Amino acid sequence: MNDQPPARLPASAPPPAGSPASAAPPWHALPPEAVLSRMGSDAKGLTEEQASERLARHGPNVIERQKGEGPLKLLWRQVNSPFIWVLIASSVLAIAMGKVTDGLVVAAVVVLNTLIGFVQEYRAGKAIEALSLMVPENATVVRGGRKESVPAARLVPGDVVELASGDKVPADMRLLSSRNLQVEEAALTGESVPAQKHVPEVEERAELGDRTSLVFGGTLVTSGTASAVVVATGHATELGRISTLLSQATDLQTPLTKALAVIGKYITVGILVVSAVLLGVGLWRGYELSEAVVVAITLAVAAIPEGLPAIVTIALAIGVQRMAARRAVIRKLPAVETLGSTTVICSDKTGTLTRNEMTVQALWTPSGRCSLSGVGYAPTGELRRDGQPVGAVPEEVRELLLAGALCNDAALQGRGERWEMTGDPTEGALVVAAEKVGLRVDEARAKHPRLDAIPFESEHQFMATLHDDGQGRRRILVKGAPEVVLRRCAPHDGATPEAVLEEVERLARQGMRVLAVAVRDVPASHPGISDEEVASGLRLLGLEGMIDPPREEAIAAVRACHEAGIIVKMITGDHPATAEAIGAQLGLQEAGKPGITGARLATVDDARLPEVAESTHVFARVAPEHKLRLVRALQARRHVVAMTGDGVNDAPALKQANIGVAMGITGTAVSKEAADIVLTDDNFASIAAAVEEGRRVYDNLIKSLAFVLPTNLGLALILMFGVAFFPIQDFGGDPVPLMAMLPTQLLWINLVATVSLALPLAFEAKEADVMRRAPRDPDAPVLSRFVLMRTGLVALLMAAGAIGLFLWEYRRELPRVGHGVALAEAQTMAVNTVISFQIFYLLMCRTLTGSLRKVGIFSNRTIFVGIGALVCLQLAFMYVPFMQRVFDTAPLSPESVGLSVLLGAVVLPVVGLEKWLLQRRGYSVVKQVHRDHDKEEPPRPGHRERLPA
């Protein structure tokens, strides 16, 4: 390897304080005797006294659970926001001034919003608790020369542990002896097949996935047996180190959360300033102090969009349901919106971008090359030579595939499109390859029964079996690593060692795992196989090159992401050549372009890392800290990062990423708990679908915001105009200021009317160009110039209409019914006018700049359900006695109702004219949202030029 040494990992770091080892030895690079000596142990293990002393010194072999935030802290976070504090203050002041009903209604709003946020956050992930579940309960340990079963928590550095197939490894250990040991390490390294382990030391610079002399806590022994000495326990293990990284990773705010927080601060400051000014204006105009305070409170209630949190939460919940239908289960609600602004997706390879089904794709025999089409375990495909289908299968190819299937312990079962493999994935690929050319493996095994075998062992790197050939003779079949099998073969025309190794290298450059298959004919009386009989004299049948192929839907999904301006990066623990080959097939990078290994990343300083992380798209042999650094480096470049993974090693990066995406099928409990989203089909295509849904949710939230804010500004303008210009009536020496609306009536508009009308916007279909435009700038203000202009225009129309009809109704009814009834009718008229404006404006918000005809008037029928529900509620608001008492309303004549509806419809031609003018100028809301900040810096690398709407 030419890579620089990686950062020192805990398995090769010094044991915890007080360990017999005083330095930081690389355990994987030391012989077993040296490890035992450094650990102060021997093959008989520790004595009970030594074990007890070390347990007291190092502590138990457990990963401490980190306590999450308590309910009170979560509850406080919901209350501690500017909007809530203003509402609480308003409620207290109202009650103190004798307006008990108004104060209690405002308090009820505070409680409702607080509960919604609390329930949402209470379901926070418990990733570190899940880590502790990966440590087994018991382990077989050698103490004082005797084997005994002890709780895994009582293991200490220096203990000698026995492992067998099916055991979960209890701690990080150095092998002392092993036989055919294979360990499933995918959760830690990302390798798609079990790692073969052996006793001989490896070079000190070996990366985590290449430290074959070590086994790591939390992994699973899939076959073989071993004896090993514990070198690290608890938080000193790889698993413990990931726990530490996980606790250091930061849960980030989503772009929308940050944007709404900024909006909240600005609105709060504005409300306080204007309320103070109104208080002064009211006192200057002759208001009583209590009346002036009520006006200030009323303004706060009017200007605060109390319904916005509920609208956002419910809109996100609707997005959750839609994403679940597309196989993406959302664990944390704000993740729905964040997906819409994702700029980089960092994906694991195995099972996400690839099928996780090893497939033979290349064949080589001394007479030439062939390829096999078809992917996965379904035995369908055809043999090709020079790209053309081969009619009759050549005998030498048939012999090669038959030998690979016979010298094999895997089995294929299934029917149609549902096929399952039992056994080693590599051997399973050989079985499927034979089936593809018409060989029936079960029949062949019955016809050529196995008589003896030398099982595969990692030290030997080959497997041999003896078979009856069905014609009174016997054959020895051998398969294994090409260099091992080749040196056991006799010279053969067209198969010189140089030619074979050159072919092996060619296939390896394509990312393939290559096996060589050889044969030796023996007499019919041959009783069995000895090591000497397979040491030489074999005849090479050929090579089989296999790879875990990319999913077809993943290739299309990557292309769709690129069209949407999203950069896709592969971050895997697999071999660099394999990662580079798959990356080229997926279109992540050009064929032949090298990726970067974790060892190379470790040499890149933090200042240069963001540039490297952004310009490179394939990363191989990465460790957990490398993934975490990459995510942070991309975030330093202002990227919104989605990180996928399924292993324990992915958990810190999943938590740090703006969006953590875990695999539902192959994912560990740790990765799922750390993630925001879980894919039920482990398919990258589902991520692309979730991004599309996220963009639709964000578009609809912008529509909701553009609908809600004009109402709040309009109500504030109504109150400000009234305080400044409405006459103060004098009834028997008691000055009474006119108010167009009461606080309870304002809450009726803000909560009941606004929410019931805004929610149907969450069901709007996606815009036609939703996946043909670049991700929005996460720093771009939600309140873009367009939203502000539209808010001001509609608010002025709404305020003018409500004030005009309020004064008209009051002056018309005052001589006939007196001040009290006239004021109630006029206030009811003002409320009815505002709601009429809202209903007609809602139709215009279904598409912010386009024509309603383009989206289809009846394409979202929930709009009309919301309008119908509000009409019924508004009729009750005006005509039901109970509602009249609560909200101080009065019944209106049909003439008055018709006039308010007619005036509300004015918003249709006015906003329609605005849309027409914007379209003539080529204006796009999407373009505005993306480009407000792009004037200051160029687009990020990998983003497409933004398309016109």
pLDDT at residue 635, as a whole number: 93
Averaged pLDDT, 636-662: 85
Element (H, E) at 573: none
Task: Give dist(CA 113, CA 79) in Å, integer.
Answer: 9
845 with 707: CB under 8 angstroms? Answer: yes
Averaged pLDDT, 208-230: 88
Is the pLDDT higher at 507 or at 324? 507
Q: Is 681 among the residues known to form the active site?
A: no
- Provide the CB-side half-sphere exposure for 677 (13 A, CA): 35
728: phi then psi, degrees, rounded to nearest 5: -100, 115
pLDDT in tens, 134-180: 445 678 899 988 888 888 889 999 999 999 887 889 899 999 998 88
**Strands 567-571, 618-620: pairing kind:** parallel
Averaged pLDDT, 348-363: 87
Element (H, E) at 946: none
278 with 723: CB under 8 angstroms? Answer: yes
In terms of average pLDDT, the best of 182-191, 317-326, 366-375, 427-436 is 427-436
Which range (385-394, 680-689, 864-873, 928-937) has the least confidence? 928-937
Residue 39's SS3 state is coil
Helices and strands, counts by H and E, the chain? 35, 28
Averaged pLDDT, 531-546: 92
For residue 751, give the DSSP letter: I
**Which of 126, 120, 135 minimizes the C-alpha distance to 673?**
126
pLDDT at residue 930, as a whole number: 43
pLDDT in tens, 746-796: 888 987 898 889 889 988 888 778 888 888 776 777 778 888 899 999 999
As to burial, measured by CB atoms within 10 angstroms (0-12 exposed, 13-18 middle, 19+ buried), residue 535 is: exposed
Residue 577, token pair as written in the block: 């050549």
Q: Tell the residue number behind the tokens 């200030």, with chain if given.
A: 296
- Provide the CB-side half-sphere exposure for 538 (13 A, CA): 27
662 with 675: CB under 8 angstroms? Answer: yes
Cα 368 to chain centroid distance, Å, stands at 45
Task: Give dist(CA 612, CA 635) in Å, integer.
Answer: 13
pLDDT at residue 67, as a whole number: 53
Residue 173's SS3 state is strand
Residue 149's SS3 state is strand
774 with 933: CB under 8 angstroms? Answer: no
pLDDT in tens, 81-124: 666 776 677 677 667 766 676 667 667 767 766 775 566 555 43
pLDDT at residue 114, as a whole number: 72
Residue 642, token pair as written in the block: 């989605």
**How many C-beta atoms lie closer than 10 Å to residue 222's C-beta?**
17
pLDDT at residue 947, as a whole number: 29
Averaged pLDDT, 853-864: 85
CA torsion, points 654, 659, 663, 664, in degrees to nearest 10?
120
Q: What confidence tier does 473 reach under pLDDT thresholds 50, 70, 90?
A: confident
pLDDT in tens, 122-147: 543 333 344 444 445 678 899 988 88
Beta bridge pairs of residue 457 = 462
**Strands 618-620, 596-597: pairing kind:** parallel
As to burial, measured by CB atoms within 10 angstroms (0-12 exposed, 13-18 middle, 19+ buried), residue 865 is: middle
Sequence-distant (≥ 6) Cβ neighbours of residue 177 within 8 angstroms: 32, 199, 226, 227
Assess whether pLDDT exceeds 50 at residue 696. yes
**Which of 896, 791, 876, 802 minimizes the C-alpha distance to 841?**
791
pLDDT at residue 945, as a whole number: 33
Assess whether pLDDT exceeds 70 at residue 210. yes
pLDDT at residue 804, as a whole number: 95
Q: What confidence tier does 922 reach under pLDDT thresholds 50, 70, 90?
A: low
pLDDT at residue 570, as a whole number: 93
pLDDT at residue 253, as a whole number: 57
Task: Give dist(CA 71, CA 557) in Å, integer.
Answer: 41
Query: Catalytic pick from 159, 348, 676, 699?
Result: 348
Task: Give dist(CA 945, CA 926) in Å, integer.
Answer: 13
Residue 512, token pair as written in the block: 């393939």
Sequence-distant (≥ 6) Cβ neighbours of residue 295 within 8 angstroms: 278, 279, 282, 287, 719, 723, 737, 739
Q: Tell the residue number behind the tokens 């940050």, with chain if given.
A: 258
572: phi then psi, degrees, rounded to nearest 5: -140, 155
Residue 771, token pair as written in the block: 């996946």
690 with 677: CB under 8 angstroms? Answer: yes
Residue 837's SS3 state is helix
Assess whether pLDDT exceeds 90 at residue 876. yes
Cα 200 to chain centroid distance, Å, stands at 39
475 with 450: CB under 8 angstroms? Answer: no
Residue 170's SS3 state is coil
pLDDT at residue 523, as a whole number: 87
In terms of average pLDDT, the best of 258-262, 694-698, 896-900 is 896-900
Sequence-distant (≥ 6) Cβ neighbours of residue 610 within 8 angstroms: 633, 634, 636, 637
pLDDT at residue 669, as a whole number: 65
In terms of average pLDDT, the best of 182-196, 265-279, 588-602 is 588-602
For residue 64, give the DSSP letter: P
Residue 735's SS3 state is strand
pLDDT at residue 705, as a whole number: 87
pLDDT at residue 417, as a whole number: 67
Residue 478's SS3 state is strand
Taking the chain, what is the end-to-end CA distance rounded to the nearest angstrom?
50
Assess whether pLDDT exceeds 90 at residue 844. yes
Beta strands, E only, 450-506: 450-457, 462-468, 474-480
pLDDT at residue 604, as a whole number: 93
Task: Give dist(CA 467, CA 470) in Å, integer.
Answer: 9
pTM of the prediction? 0.68
CA distances from 744 to 108, 513, 749 (A): 12, 72, 9
Residue 316, token pair as written in the block: 């996100």
Greatest Cα pair distance, the chain, in angstroms, is 128
Task: Give dist(CA 206, CA 343) in Å, integer.
Answer: 33
Task: Give dist(CA 595, CA 508) in Å, integer.
Answer: 15
Return the ∠ at Cα 675 (arms to 670 and 678), rounded to 5°.
100
Label residues 362-401 b or e (16+ Cβ within 10 Å = b).
bbbbbeebbbbebbbbbbebebeeeeeeeeebbebbbbbb
Length of the chain: 949
Averaged pLDDT, 624-635: 90
Q: Percent of the chain, pLDDT > 90?
A: 35
Averaged pLDDT, 289-308: 75
**Which of 675, 712, 710, 644 minimizes the C-alpha distance to 910?**
710
Task: Give dist(CA 32, CA 292) in Å, integer.
Answer: 85
Residue 99, token pair as written in the block: 């307006």
Q: What confidence tier does 491 reach under pLDDT thresholds 50, 70, 90?
A: confident
Task: Give dist(CA 785, CA 763) in Å, integer.
Answer: 25
Label residues 572-592 b or e (16+ Cβ within 10 Å = b).
bbbbbbbbbbbbbbbbbbeee
Is the pLDDT higher at 130 or at 698? 698
Assess whether pLDDT exceeds 50 at residue 946. no
